[in-house]
Amino acid sequence: MERDVRIRLLAVVALGALLVTSGCLTTDPAVELNTTESAVFAEASTDGSVAIGQVNAKLSLVPNATTDEGVDRLLVVAPNGETFHRTSLDSGQSSVTVLLPPDGSATIVAANTVNGTVVETRNATITGDSLR
């Protein structure tokens, strides 16, 4: 029994150290993305009840986003203007998980890299209870 207590204590200490060294802890993360009249995005939601340093968001795409619109890459741009995350899309893909910064906002850029155009840009608002 004493060994179990030590293992639990070690796990709590390790988790605390992870939280302190990895940046921001956000509980109940959520993402708001205006998809009204979007040529690319149908819906956005978050995965999980806790986020450490980044928020996992699932984006549902409109049926023709990767075919008719030719979207083959999504970029997440942080408030400081730097690329926070990027991912490639396959033709016919209907959803994708992206990483969002936990600090309030991001810009999601849908691009067609074949012809070098930006198909659509949407601002996302990330909310939750931040603990630092």
**CATH code of the domain in which 48 resides:** 2.60.40.10
Instruction: Look at residue 13 and tell me if it is in a domain.
Output: no
Q: Is the pLDDT of residue 35 over 90?
A: yes
Instruction: Look at residue 20 and tell me if it is in a domain.
Output: no
Sign of the C-alpha dihedral, residues 98, 45, 90, 110?
Answer: negative
- Number of structural domains (the chain) is 1
If we measure between CA atoms, which residue out of 106, 118, 94, 82 comes closest to residue 29?
Answer: 106
If we measure between CA atoms, which residue out of 15, 47, 20 comes closest to residue 31?
Answer: 47
What's the pLDDT at 6? 67
What's the pLDDT at 87? 97
**pTM value?**
0.78
Least confident of 17-31, 47-61, 118-132: 17-31
Instruction: Look at residue 4 and tell me if it is in a domain.
Output: no
Task: Print the domain residue range for 102.
Answer: 25-131
pLDDT, tens only, 50-101: 778 889 999 999 999 999 999 999 999 999 999 999 999 999 999 999 999 9
Can you tell me the distance from the alpha carbon of 28 to that of 20, in angstroms, rounded to the nearest whole number?
19
- Residue 20: pLDDT band with limits 50, 70, 90: very low
